[in-house]
Each structure stands twice: as structure tokens, then as C-alpha cells.
Chain A
């Protein structure tokens, strides 16, 4: 019987190994409302940062690895066909990353190739692990059978050059969103270097990804002693706790301030003074929520995804607010659902906010989808 006593990685319904039915919406809602109601949220420690205080022999590890690989291979393209989920190749790559996080870095070069090659020497040599092997059986089953996102399994997401802690209740930062930082650097800071000394805001910060990467960009563009800073806001106490711990781990306590609250609410003290406002708000139209990929729809926080009927509820709120929050010359960039939302927002800005913004642009992501709307306050 597998142990359920698990410190960092929650093992949930581990004893139940049936292929899960799609979990009803109410389940996810109740899960997130539980998280929201708890006042004192203690962020979980990602696997790669936990002490290597467990061990297993090479043969036990190899046995687990073989089992996990077979489980990954059994998926084939089932998930791809079902909801554009991961295929076996991707799952096997994730398995390698799980191993990398499980074993201390200095042993990677010795252990990892051995598991692949099936070398039979020194099978009883013991390997230090950051989690017990029983837990690895458990979490890999969750990954495959419950479609629990890989990033929640290992407790972190590699994003740009950062490794950010993530856990249930916090949106996993997407690769597309990395480009917001390129816009900050290439568009805002290159055209208006003085913005590097101002106060920036990341609204609905989640894990703190945008806020932390922006703070680092401001630092590298800083001229002399004058330093810019970033205020990150989020309504969710889990997000606030996780973002705060990510800020600390990146040594940015003095530069990024995490405030709890909805969108602009916690920012009364900097009204009209912001140098930049960035956000990846919920933008999925409510109607699309039920058809989402299982990793997203069944595990990630609805509150960070559902943007109302057309998906633009929060984006419109942000555009309404940003006019009064930005100082003249200030920059904004928001992520959207795609071409339709981008065009709608640009129309809205040009008609409803005529004359208040300039250099309005739509920027596509690397998949060629129009993803970002950005501009400068006049």
C-alpha cells in the first residue's frame, strides 16, 4: 500500500488507480474555494529544492523508471486525440525532467544514462533521492491517469531563465507569456529608458512570473542608482503566498512587492504614477471552459482562466483602469486569447479611449497567433 503521508507533493486520491472520469466543474470549484478560504497558506517546496534525504538502490530506481516509461508509452496519442493533451514522446521527456529534479545534480551524469541503457552493474548502489520512491509511483500515476499537470507534480515551472514554484491554485505560467518580457525590454525600455526607474505593476500575478522577470529586466536596464520596482497584485491568497516565496527565492524582496487584492484595488497610492502595467488576465470565454485540455480544466484555477462570456471582462476592466493608473508615457501590455480579442480591444481603445493612448500594437506569439495588445499612455 502506498503511503499518503507526503510533505511537499500532495498525493490526493492516490489509492484510487482507475482512469479518472472528467471531473465535474463543481469539484474544481470546491477545490479552489477551499484554497481561497484558508487564510495562512504555506507555499509548497518544489521537488528540486527538497533535501535528498531519501534513498533507493539503482535497481529499485531502474524498476520504477521502466514502469513509468511504459506507462507513458501506453498513452500513445490518446490524449492528443482526446483534447490536444500530451503524447508519449512528451511524457517520456517529462519523465526525464522528473528524474533530474529527483536526483542531485552532481549525480545526473552517472545515474540518468544508466537507467536508459539498462546497464546491470552495481545495481545495489544506493542513490539519494529528494522524495521517497513510493511517492514517485504515486505522482507519476497522477500525471498519466489523472492528467495532473507536470509542473504541479514537480512543483515548479521553468519559465524564461527562471525556475518558479507553482502549486494547485496558481496558474502555471505559459511559454507564450514569456514574450511580454521581450516587449518590456525591446519596446518599452529601449524606446523610453527612463521607464526603467519607475514603478511597474503586474496584475493578477499568479506565481509572480511577470513581476519577477520584469524586475530583473528593470535592473539590467537601470542607469546609475535609480532603480525601478514592481508591485504584483493578486486576489488569491495561494497566489500571493507562492508569488511572495518566488520573489524571495530570486532575491528581489526590495524590488517586487506582492499585494493582495483585485486588479487595481491595492494600487491607490500609485494612481497616475505607474511606468508600466502588465497582465495575463483570465481571457478564456466561459463557453470554452468545459472543453479545455484535462490538465487545464481539471487542475488549474478557474479564477485565473475564465474571462466571462466573451472572455474580455477582465481585459476591459484593465483597459478602463490603466488610463488613470499610468503616468504620461507609461507602457502597457496585456495577453489575450487571440486575434478576435486583440482586434476588439484595439477598437475599444481607439473608440472609447480616443486620444488617450498611442503606438497601439498587436503582437503575435511564436505560433503566429495574435496574442498581445500593447501601447503607451499619451
Chain B
């Protein structure tokens, strides 16, 4: 035992957060995950209070408790808070907390990004909420349909709060998407092949990739709408050649995948809990994995079902209708797999199972009405009525909140080391369940009787009165239920019985990290040879803290993970990851400054903020590789397993590639916007000849191509351990890159673009800005590489970083020529 204690102390010294204010510099996934979940819970309470105000106003007809303008802020903020500040972040938090523990790792691969994500979420959330307390909250509905949200019809700053705040918060989602993907793929315990991964990880992998591809359309849409509001660029304005429907496409291109981004992690919780309480492994692992993949794919092809009343061609509506119904298949497969597991096991009644049971009923109800809504003629009737409100609350409360609470109870001993109280918890469940069904089952009927959503009051005698009263009463019962759950959880910290180390006799590795978990999770990292490590070898609970497995060396003072191959889980290298850092906090504070100064339209300050953010983030990237604060060589380095910065492959490279996939989704959204406006916008006009100076543009493209080719050559030589002249050549590439960027700036400045009159010119401008950003950043990063070569952080012994940067240049070259082809060439040919 003393061996275990010594090991623990040595590890804690390296892995524990700084004390006191130093907690703010924490990057540890357990801390960050907890912060996400607690913050998300607070936003859930705020969103719930708004829901209660809404239900109070609607309880009786013709009430004037909440005036119309406040009511519109309330329903907009209720949706916004619940979706963007509660549902997504709390599930991200759960994933951030759980994933390393489930795959047998000590942390996520990009801990500083976890921290940055959290602060962006927190500051963005505070900025958005502040608008409500100032009485200037967004009031166009949580999907911000323009022109209602435009400068003309929403002149106050409400829409700006939404667009800027949500985009800010979305940085955290993108951060989570990238780091979860790379962590799951590259830092699993040795031997954990993809097919031996706990099913939870499959769900999260799908969610993370969906975030990577699903969020960029909304980010682009928000940027465009904010540009329209602040600078008058008419992307969505008919008179200038834009189209308000483009916003709807961009929004729902994000919005529908988003529903599954919320549902998949919730289903992950269900699929984790059911086998544990059935005392039998999940039946149909492969079917479930197949369903997850199918769901992820189909969910990107069904966004138009939110837009059936827009007047889209009937054939397209039929296509999206069928695609939507097809989602029922993977969902039904999962339901039958859960059912089969219960069938062949011995299910025990327990608090988490109670919520699973509630989930199954409520979620299936929501699913059935979902299939109904997918039927176009029926949708034309019930769209925008309370029927839809009922449906979406069934799927979101049933499909997300219930599983979340099931998971909360299941992992409560893990979070706190104590057990919840069965009696209080049961009361909480039944009140929530009964209240929820009273509220929303009634609401289907209210909708069928014709009550539209988002009305702040209604006439008496339309048949809606009694139903609304029932819904309000149910809403308050549900609130009491959630209150009891909250009370139960708060009380358990004081009165809960101490938990054993694996209280539910579960099969997965998170229970071997201690209850509550140690900062480094595992003192030694075991090999995994099955999906149920703790069922197959319960002694792991002891042997892991005793240091009987791999990577117990800690004298070098580095935080380390095992780097494994993506599919086979074969051990290839050691990933060294950063310790606590202030840069994420400083970077996100600078971004918050940008956000606030854009809100108050004080642009000089915004520029200062941008510069500060760039400085902080680039300074952060400086502490990498062989930098003394990261992983300088030490006498304790593992002889046979290299550190990843000494190889050609590592998490950073994968992170770069996944980030570029997200970036590509953003770029494709821009191309979509361009082609959509060209083909559909009523007043679109294209000049006969391109307003850009094509010769200079092409020349800069040739320069870029030459540079990228030369960069690739450098990397190839470096991989052959040849680094003569590397520094000089990087300086050269960097400076030529700056010149090339300057050429692009010149092209933009010379072009007679009428940004406020023509959507065509405005889109062209955004495309140019996008290229300038990519070329400029590439140049700066290459210059930094040159400096790092000089300082000895990069070279033939540390060849990793130029390899990480290479995809950026390749991508930049790709988007440059594809932009020239689509934005300049295509109109010339087709014009």
C-alpha cells in the first residue's frame, strides 16, 4: 500500500491543479468537465425560471402579467439558453469528464483547449445573459429568422447579443469536438481496438465529429448576419440581392444535426447504464455502432424538414420527408437492443434505472410524433403550433434531460464519493415524470386545436383555456420535481453514504480512477483486451493505483499519455501534454473583449482585442514541443517509446486535420451560400466582368503554390533527418507568405466592391477575407517555426511541428484555387 501512496504523491505533484486562484489556470479534464456541468446546471435553472414565467402568462387567457415585448425576449432566451448554454455544454462537460477515464487515459490530448473552451462558454454565456437583465435581450425566437432579426426590424442590440454571444460560446463546442475526436482516436489504452471501445465512446466520437461538421454552417450564418447588421452587407436582404431563406438553410444545416448532437451522448448514457443494471453486456454492440453511424450521416440530410412551409419545390420536400423518416430505423434498432438487453438480464430497480424507464416512454412518444411531423401534408397543418412545441419538449426532455439525470445519479458516487438518497430521488422522478407529461401531452391537443407557438396571449373560448391551465399546472409540478432532484443532489454531499470504489459493479474503467477520481486518473495504464475490463479482471481496481501497469515514470515532471494507433489501439508513442496554463484564460478574456466591443460598436477596441487574442494564443502555441515549459529532453525519457514531438505523428497533427475538416465545412457553407444566392435570390445580380484584379490575384496564387510546394519539400527533407538551411528556408517562406498576403489585401482594396448594395460583392469580400486570414496566419506560423528552429525547439531531432503545420498550407492552397474557380472562373464561363 505504501507503494501506492508514494506513487500517488509523486503523481499528484505533477497533475494536481494549482491551489487558490491557480485553479483558474487548471486544464485538467476532470476539473473542466465538472465546471462545464455545474455551469450548465445553473443555466438550466435560469432557463427553467423563464419557462415558468411563460407558463404563468399562458395559464389563463387574456392575461397581462408578462407584456408582449418581454414575452418575446423570454421565449427567445428560454430556447437559446436551453439549447446553447445548457444542453450542448453540459453534455460536452460530461464527455470531457468521462472520455479519458473510459479509454484508460489520464487526460484529453489538448488540455489547454478544454480550458479555453470552458472560458469561452462561461464568458459568452454571461454576455448573453446580461442582455436579459438589461432588458435588451434578443427577441426574434431562438432561430433568429431574418428579416425579423435584421437591423431594420430589430434595431436594438438584442440580435447582436445573440449572434456574437452564441458564436463565442460555439468556440467551446468546436474545441470539444476536435479534442474529443482526437483523444478517442489516439489515446486509448493499449489493446483497446475500436471494436473493444466502450459503447459510450462510439456515441461521443459520433457526436464530436457531428459538432465538427455541424456547427460551422451556423458560425458562418452568424458572421454573415452580424456583418449585415453592423456593416450593411445585404446577404439576407432581398433588395440587395440576398435572400432571408439562406439564413434558414444555414441555421437548420446546423440545427438538425444539433438535435442528434444532443441525443447521441444521452443515448450513450442509456446504453452504458442498461447493461450494468441488467448485469449482462449490451446485446447487439455492432448493431448499435451501425445505428450511431447511420444516425450521424442521415442527420445531415434532413434539415429542410424544419422548412416545409417555406414553399420549397414539392419534390425536394418529399425527399427530405423520406430522409427524415429513415432516422426512425437506427433509433428503433437502438430501442430494440436496449429492450433485448433488459430481456436477457436481471434488471434491478434503482434510481438511474427509473430515469431510464422514463426516458424510454417519453422519448418514444416524441419519436412517434417526430415521424408524424416528417409527413409533409401533416406538417403543413401543425408546423409552428403547440404540437411542435410538445414534440420538441418530448424529445429534448425525454431524450436528453432524463438520460442526463440518469447519468447524474449513476455517476454521482464517482463525482462525490457518496451515494444518493433513494426516497427523495424517487419523489423527484415521479413528480418530474407526471408534471412533464401533464404539461406536454396536453400541448399536442392545444396545437391540434390551432394554438400557434410564440403567442403571448390568446382569446378565451377557443378551446385552449383548460388545456393551457393544465399545462401550466403540470409545468409547476415538473419544476418541483426538478427541485427535489437538485435538493437530493445537494443534500447527498453532506448526508450521502460513502460509496465503495465500484458501487454499481460496473464494467468500465472510469470506476478504477477512484471515487472521487484522482487528478491523474490512473497511476499506471493497463492494457485492455475486452469491452468489459472490470468485469473480466476486478483486481484492476487495486493493481492500477499500485502501479502494476505501464507509464509509471513521473520523475521527469511531465504529464504523459500513451499514444496508440487509431484503429488497432497499438502502442506507438508517448504523448506529452501541457500542465496548467494561464494562456487559455487570457486568450478567452481577449476574445470576450472583442465580443463586447463589437456589441457596443467600438471598433478600435475590437482591433485591440483581436491583437491581444492573437498574441496570447500564439504565445500559447510557443510552449510546445521541446520548449522548456513543455518537453525538453530529460534523463528519464523512455528508451524504447519516443515522445510524440520526436516523431512524425502525434495528437497535434490529428487535431490540425480535424480542425481543417471543420474549417472545410465552414468554407463549403460559404460556397453553398454563394451558389444558393446566385441560383435562388430574387434580385441577385452578377457583374459582367469580375470586379477583382484577376492578374494580381493569379500572380499571388502562383506565389502561394510555389511556397506550399517549397514547404512540402522542407518537410520531406526534415523527415529524412536533413535540416540544413531549414531556418533560412522557413524565413523565406514566411516572408514570401507575407508578401503574398499583402497582394491579396491589395486585390481587395483595389476592387470597387459595393458592399452595402450588392450581395454578390459582399460574398466576394467575405471570401477574400477568408483567404487573407489563411495566407496571413500560415505565414506568421511559418515565421515562428523559423524562430523555433533557431532556438533549437525544432530540427531533425524534433521534426514534429513543421509536419503539423503542413496540412494548413495544403488546405490554404486548396481553398485558394477552388475560390478562384468558383467565385471568379465559374461566373466567367457561365456568366
- Tell me if chain B binds chain A: no
Chain A interface residues (CB < 8 Å from chain B): none
Chain B interface residues (CB < 8 Å from chain A): none
